[in-house]
Structure 1
Amino acid sequence: MKDLRHHFETPLRTTAFHNRIAAANVLNEWAPWAGYTTATVLEDAETEYTAIRNTASLYDLCPMIKYRITGPGAVDYLNRLTLRDVARLPVDAVHYTAWCDDHGKLLDDGTLFRLGEAEFLLCCQERHLPWLADSAIGFDVTIRDVTDEIAGLSLQGPCTAAVLTEAGFDVSALKPFRIARYPFKGGTLTISRTGFTGDLGYELWIEPGRALPLWDRLMEAGSYCGIRPVGSTALNLARIEAGFITTNADFVPADQAVREDRVRSPYEMALDWMIDFGKGHFNGRRALLKERDTQSGEWAFVALDIEGNVAADHAILYDGRDREIGQVTSAAWSPVTKSSIALAHMRRPYDTKAKGGIWAEIYALRELHYVKLMMKAEIVARPFFAPPRRRATPPGRF
């Protein structure tokens, strides 16, 4: 068994794609992600974002936490654990889901892949093995952390289907949230039509030993459109435009929160659409039923269009400039919508009854000096950007 007493002395691990990413990382900008080193910006964040929205991009997904869940009781177990009805998820399909503690507060969200009748892969941001193991008591299931065993690569952008075809993987019939498998270098490449950009895109899953040949083939196949590797800064901008939430950015997991008022329920994060009360008992069900019936949620999660061209990072929100009613969790100047957009928590009922209008208190850095700006904000629908190509089947060739 590994001795963890001096784990703090161990440097961050590198992923299966690290050698290629390091060679492209001109700025040498890195950040930690789940014990791995990951690139934030390789050369230019704006150019990398442009690749996501206009051509094709590659992003290293290896640090994403992955749990393989197998056994005769897998469906019943996952129905007890998560909010959605897993029995309705077909084999070779994916759905977005979340799970709560017994008080109905969010622990994390993620994607659940059904690889077989009794075989699943749960991908998420944070590590949850103790919670998953405790929740499995009484179920005939096996849960393994397989993060190190699967190399993940996100291929996103309007040209991605054409790039995959050029690389020898015909994805013309692959629908959103579906999975296909292809032979590659003596192994199997699994491709899912999923992603974190709200655009046409795919996620590729391969054994780590075959990761670099896959990277090289994709880079060669995408050379015609200027495919490029991207860092997390560009991806974060794209995910905000798509209206997607991120753990520890837009909400704090219930098992990590120090302050009791920082946790949120699915109702308070606009995730109540995925709750299936008809499937039977699941973690947090009683608390969520009570919240639904009494309308007791204190917070609303909203999308904002804010005047001006300054990103409203961590802005405080007001009703009529004087009553504090919430705060921004994620914000950006969106190149594709040409507007300042944000995701935010607002106290109810101010999300529907802000008498003085919603104002954002923004601090803009102007040559080493912060300037306070009070900007009008308007609640709008999510996502901010949703091109039809993201769901078109067969996908268009760009």
Structure 2
Amino acid sequence: MKDHFHTPLRQTPFHPRTSALNRLNQWGAWAGYTTALAFDDEAMEYTAIRNGASLYDLCPMVKYRITGPDAAAYLNRLTIRNAAKLSVGGVHYTVWCDDAGKVLDDGTLFRHGAEDFMLCCQERHLPWLLDSATGYEVQVREVTEEVAALSLQGPCSAAVLQAAGFDMCNLRPFRMAKLGFEGVEITISRTGFTGDLGYEIWATPAQALPLWDALMRAGAPWGIRPIGTSALNLARIEAGFIITNMDFIPADQAVREDRARSPFELSLDWMIDWEKGHFTGRRALLAEKARGSSWALVGLDIEGNVSAEGSLIYHNRKTEVGHVTAAAWSPATKRNIALAQVRRPHHTGDTLWVEVYALRELQYHKLMLRAHVTERPFFAPARRRATPPGAF
């Protein structure tokens, strides 16, 4: 793009609508795009996620189309899960590692056809993906700018879709369906980043504004709201989901060797398919499985109601054993929760202490708060998996 340095952040196809609604004028950068952090009331945006319906612009998410006769074999070599087992119309969560078994990124893999996949993730990895394709009859292409994506989340999201003319009541979690809109095919998947009932809608940029208008119009009786990244982040913490460059550093970006993390250290080893054959990082992960890991990513319950984000974690109040990567007071569970990286063996249920600095009238007060390792997700309503969804 000529003279791109004059406008370093691009606008998504939904920007004419999101900019008009952003009363707070709060914007952030995401993968080279301008994205809304909050529109008018962050608390009400969170409430829409948990009690109504919410709409979030997903366009900046990095997307790759992977096609060809060897597409499944290539993805088996690239990722730790078995892509060949993913049926057409299915979606699964996955990660991929470097040769040392350290995570490069996580993302969702969509299978559109026998030889047609789409991989969505946080960071850009085209050179790595192309290098990994050597020897395979496969084409890898970034399609981020070709896809306009929206996330429709909340207990009323199925009702909103039905009111808009999209009956998704029989669509199961991690499945997708194709249907027509404005004379062009769109894809709706039962996926999301809130840990609640929700869907993601994949269209073309030309369909973006009519799609936004149709959903906002259909969702009016359910109080649908556009939401920003701040409200979504609170929901994802409650769901126990991790984010690249917030909860872990991609191995190719880590300046210090001890900062990268393996699937074992991120509690993602449940995805590893040891029987599918070789994949990048397999030997290193087998060695780690035999000797044990250094770190664990855990959920914490922390006393009080002061958010502990960025805090250090101690054993016996004096030995540093980890740090909090994400934290919040959870409105849904009425708990002070956190995601944290903790040195083993302190991840097994010891009473830990979190050093929190609370800002009170321009002065910071140091608090040493008790914390207990707890199960994730912190919030997991049955409606997120109910098929058909309940009527809300």
TM-score by length of 2: 0.99
The letter for the 2-side match of 1:347 is R
Alpha-carbon distance in structure 1 between the residues aligned to 2:5 and 2:190: 37
Partner of 1:360: 354
Cα offset for 1:171?
0.3
Alpha-carbon distance in structure 2 between the residues aligned to 1:350 and 1:184: 53
Partner of 2:134: 137
Partner of 1:151: 148
Cα offset for 1:350?
1.2
Partner of 1:68: 65
Cα offset for 1:8?
4.1
Partner of 1:55: 52
Listed one character per residue, the Cα deviations across residues 297-338 of structure 1 (whole Å, up to 9, x for unaligned) are 110110000000011011100001101000000000100011
Q: Give 2:390's match in structure 1, choosing from 369, 393, 396.
A: 396
Cα offset for 1:10?
3.2
Matched residue of 2:84: which SS?
A: helix
Q: Give 1:370's match in structure 2, choosing from 338, 343, 364.
A: 364
Listed one character per residue, the Cα deviations across residues 151-172 of structure 1 (whole Å, up to 9, x for unaligned) are 0100000000000000000001
Does 1:279 find its partner at 2:276? yes
Alpha-carbon distance in structure 1 between the residues aligned to 2:26 and 2:349: 44
Does 1:29 find its partner at 2:26? yes
- Where structure 1 has 5 or more consecutive residues not aligned to the other structure, the ranges are none
Partner of 2:164: 167
**Structure-to-structure mapping, 1:158-307, within 5 angstroms:** 158-295=155-292, 297-307=293-303
Cα offset for 1:391?
0.3
Cα offset for 1:352?
2.2
Matched residue of 1:394: which SS?
A: coil
Alpha-carbon distance in structure 1 between the residues aligned to 2:281 and 2:42: 40
Q: Does the 8 Å contact 2:349/2:372 carry over to 1?
A: no
Cα offset for 1:7?
5.1
TM-score by length of 1: 0.97
Range moving further from structure 2, 363-372 or 166-175:
363-372
Alpha-carbon distance in structure 2 between the residues aligned to 1:346 and 1:93: 34
The total of aligned residue pairs comes to 392
Does 1:323 find its partner at 2:334? no
Listed one character per residue, the Cα deviations across residues 6-51 of structure 1 (whole Å, up to 9, x for unaligned) are 7544331000111111111000000000010000011011110000
Identity of aligned residues (%): 66
Q: Does the 8 Å contact 2:312/2:354 carry over to 1?
A: yes
The letter for the 2-side match of 1:77 is Y
Cα offset for 1:397?
1.4
Does 1:19 find its partner at 2:13? no
Partner of 1:346: 342
Cα offset for 1:368?
1.5
Listed one character per residue, the Cα deviations across residues 236-269 of structure 1 (whole Å, up to 9, x for unaligned) are 0000000000000000000001111100000000
Partner of 2:113: 116
The letter for the 2-side match of 1:227 is I
Alpha-carbon distance in structure 2 between the residues aligned to 1:240 and 1:394: 26
Does 1:310 find its partner at 2:279? no
Matched residue of 2:265: which SS?
A: helix
- Where structure 2 has 5 or more consecutive residues not aligned to the other structure, the ranges are none
Listed one character per residue, the Cα deviations across residues 266-294 of structure 1 (whole Å, up to 9, x for unaligned) are 00000000000100000000000000112
Listed one character per residue, the Cα deviations across residues 33-87 of structure 1 (whole Å, up to 9, x for unaligned) are 0010000011011110000000000000000000000000101100000000011
Listed one character per residue, the Cα deviations across residues 94-150 of structure 1 (whole Å, up to 9, x for unaligned) are 000000000000000000000000000000000000000000000000011000000
Matched residue of 1:103: which SS?
A: coil
Matched residue of 1:349: which SS?
A: coil
Q: Does the 8 Å contact 2:150/2:201 carry over to 1?
A: yes
Matched residue of 1:222: which SS?
A: helix
**Structure-to-structure mapping, 1:74-85, within 5 angstroms:** 74-85=71-82
Give the RMSD, CA atoms, in angstroms.
0.9
Partner of 1:334: 330
